[in-house]
Amino acid sequence: MTRRSIGIIVNGVTGRMGYRQHLVRSLLAIREQGGVPLADGTSIWPEPVLVGRSESRLREIAERHGLTDWTTDLSAALARDDVEVYFDAQVTQQREKAIRRALEAGKHVYTEKPLAEDTEGALDLARAARAAGVRTGVVQDKLFLPGLRKLKRLIDGGFFGRILSVRGEFGYWVFEGDWQPAQRPSWNYRSEDGGGIVVDMFPHWQYVLEELFGRVRTVSCVTATHVPQRVDEAGRSYPATADDAAYGIFELDGGVVAQLNSSWCVRVHRDELVEFQVDGTEGSAVAGLRSCRVQHRAVTPKPVWNPDLPVTEPFRSQWTEVPDNEEFDNGFKVQWEAFLRHVVANEPFPWDFLAGARGVQLAELGLRSACEGVRLAIPELDL
Ligand SMILES: NC(=O)c1ccc[n+]([C@@H]2O[C@H](COP(=O)([O-])OP(=O)(O)OC[C@H]3O[C@@H](n4cnc5c(N)ncnc54)[C@H](O)[C@@H]3O)[C@@H](O)[C@H]2O)c1
């Protein structure tokens, strides 16, 4: 088998996402499986170049995984001819300017979401990438979750009839950091550092809604900062300036209404950290990260509202588990493989910078809707 090596800058590799999902679970996992196979027998072989600010942390990660290529000098890495792809998993605020440098150096760019801090910035990057003639991609990992893949299979198979509504619950309790350390980085809770649950989650909701149910046409949103004071990684108390919960209603093409709650201030009484209930004329489904359960019209029970009597129906057990019927790989890795095939073999890849800009736009308009207390239309974006 011929190996086609491809140098990939992994900037922000010391972070949660950069290290675990992108380096270890994607790029190194691809090497462990022998690369990304192409139809002509060639195998794409990622050669990660670890980039970050701390020499000691980069060296430690490199040594842990038998890698030797790391640097704190992004310009030097971008100047290399053997580096074809720039990948960004830095904190959101650092992204736009770093991607711009990568585009100026003529690199293909793949990045974590959100693509930029505002829609204009995201569109600017999309235009610059088009002018540079390079390939672009934005992480849309939730599309590859087993639960959502099964949901998509149900939609494609016509299970629901006409889809009426989608109700999603995402969230869990993120500790304040005082008596137990917080399980998310503190920048997430400071808007001046690019934090906030709308900026974090609405880009995900945009592509999930669009790919499964239809274009998002309006948004109305209420946000809250339920926990106003938190304690950071160094044990210092700080004011939480960003939204830590968002209650959104989205109208989609075809009249589908989606309500999605996102919260870092909610305790989980669900089977999974995210769940979507989809109701259609012919049937309903509840999908999480991994599982998906359905109830068809023909087996729908007929509850009658009577608060004087205890519930007699075992509602939860009246749903049927959808079988996997296939092997589900790590979603980040699956999307990396698709992006690398896009770069090397020109295979289609729909999740480009323009798609990423739509995610940024939904977050921006969600925040504006909350601020102004109004429902806003989502204009089509164009380059
Ligand atoms: N796809 C997903 O499901 C998902 C989940 C979580 C986060 N994310 C995204 O991934 C990105 C990183 O999030 P994370 O949770 O890994 O954060 P993190 O804080 O763990 O990592 C951030 C990285 O950026 C670097 N960094 C921090 N400040 C910097 C600065 N001033 N200059 C340059 N580099 C700096 C850090 O050293 C670290 O490598 C964010 O944009 C976030 O939106 C995506």
Looking up tokens 């990992």 gives 141
- 281 CA → ligand 1 middle, Å: 42
pLDDT tens digits for 163-203? 999 999 999 999 999 999 999 999 999 999 999 999 999 99
Report how far apart, in Å, the C-alpha atoms of 180 and of each of 127, 163, 228, 232, 351 are.
45, 43, 17, 11, 38
Q: Which residue's CA is the nearest one to ligand 1's atom 29?
A: 91
Is 200 near ligand 1, meaning CB less than 6 Å away?
Answer: yes
Does 374 score more than 80 pLDDT?
yes
**What single DSSP character describes residue 186?**
G
Atom of ligand 1 nearest to the CA of 13: 39
Q: Which residue's CA is the nearest one to ligand 1's atom 30?
A: 94
What are 310's two structure tokens? 């205890």
From the CB of residue 372, how many other CB atoms can be counted at a distance below 10 Å? 9
* Residue 196, phi-psi category: left (phi > 0), alpha (psi -120 to 50), beta (remainder): left
Q: State the pLDDT confidence band at 312, using cuts at 50, 70 and 90.
A: confident
Is 35 near ligand 1, meaning CB less than 6 Å away?
Answer: no
List the end-to-end C-alpha distance of the chain, in Å, as a whole number: 40
Atom of ligand 1 nearest to the CA of 12: 39
Is 210 near ligand 1, meaning CB less than 6 Å away?
Answer: no
Does 122 score more than 90 pLDDT?
yes
- 137, with CB counted inside 10 A (0-12, 13-18, 19+), is buried
Is 15 near ligand 1, meaning CB less than 6 Å away?
Answer: yes
Q: Count how many residues are written for the chain.
A: 383
Atom of ligand 1 nearest to the CA of 54: 37
Report how far apart, in Å, the C-alpha atoms of 145 and of each of 21, 208, 274, 314, 333 are.
14, 11, 11, 28, 11
Is 92 near ligand 1, meaning CB less than 6 Å away?
Answer: yes
- 126 CA → ligand 1 middle, Å: 21
Is 140 near ligand 1, meaning CB less than 6 Å away?
Answer: no
Is 90 near ligand 1, meaning CB less than 6 Å away?
Answer: yes
pTM, whole model, 2 decimals? 0.96
Atom of ligand 1 nearest to the CA of 200: 43
User: What is the reported pLDDT for 336?
Assistant: 98
Closest C-alpha among 136, 65, 181, 156 to residue 355: 136
User: What is the reported pLDDT for 24?
Assistant: 98
Do residues 154 and 261 lie in contact, with contact meaning Cβ atoms separated by under 8 Å?
no
Helix, strand, coil tally for the chain in percent (to 5): 35, 25, 40
- 89 CA → ligand 1 middle, Å: 5
- 97, with CB counted inside 10 A (0-12, 13-18, 19+), is exposed
Query: What is the per-residue burial (b if ≥16 Cβ within 10 Å, else e) of 319-351?
Result: beebeeeeeeeebbbbbbbbbbbbbbeeeebeb
Is 112 near ligand 1, meaning CB less than 6 Å away?
Answer: yes
Q: What is the mean pLDDT of residues 300-319?
A: 93
- 16 CA → ligand 1 middle, Å: 7
Angstrom distance (rounded) from CA 280 to CA 364: 30
Angstrom distance (rounded) from CA 58 to CA 52: 7
Q: State the pLDDT confidence band at 254, using cuts at 50, 70 and 90.
A: very high
- 20 CA → ligand 1 middle, Å: 12
User: What is the reported pLDDT for 11?
Assistant: 98
Q: State the pLDDT confidence band at 152, using cuts at 50, 70 and 90.
A: very high
User: What is the reported pLDDT for 185?
Assistant: 96
- 168 CA → ligand 1 middle, Å: 25
- 132 CA → ligand 1 middle, Å: 26
- 382, with CB counted inside 10 A (0-12, 13-18, 19+), is exposed
Atom of ligand 1 nearest to the CA of 14: 39
Strands (E), the chain: 3-11, 36-37, 43-51, 70-71, 83-88, 108-111, 136-138, 163-171, 216-224, 229-231, 237-239, 245-252, 257-263, 274-280, 283-287, 292-296, 320-321, 376-377
Does 1 score more than 90 pLDDT?
no
Atom of ligand 1 nearest to the CA of 139: 1
Is 12 near ligand 1, meaning CB less than 6 Å away?
Answer: yes
Atom of ligand 1 nearest to the CA of 92: 41
Is 97 near ligand 1, meaning CB less than 6 Å away?
Answer: no
- Across the chain, mean pLDDT equals 97
Angstrom distance (rounded) from CA 351 to CA 339: 9
Amino acid in position 125: L
Ligand 1 binding pocket mutation candidate from 91, 94, 192 (most atoms within 8 A of CB): 91
User: What is the reported pLDDT for 315?
Assistant: 95
Q: What percent of the chain has pLDDT over 90?
A: 99
Q: Which residue's CA is the nearest one to ligand 1's atom 21?
A: 15
Is 188 near ligand 1, meaning CB less than 6 Å away?
Answer: no
User: What is the reported pLDDT for 220?
Assistant: 98
pLDDT tens digits for 57-99? 999 999 999 999 999 999 999 999 999 999 999 999 999 999 9
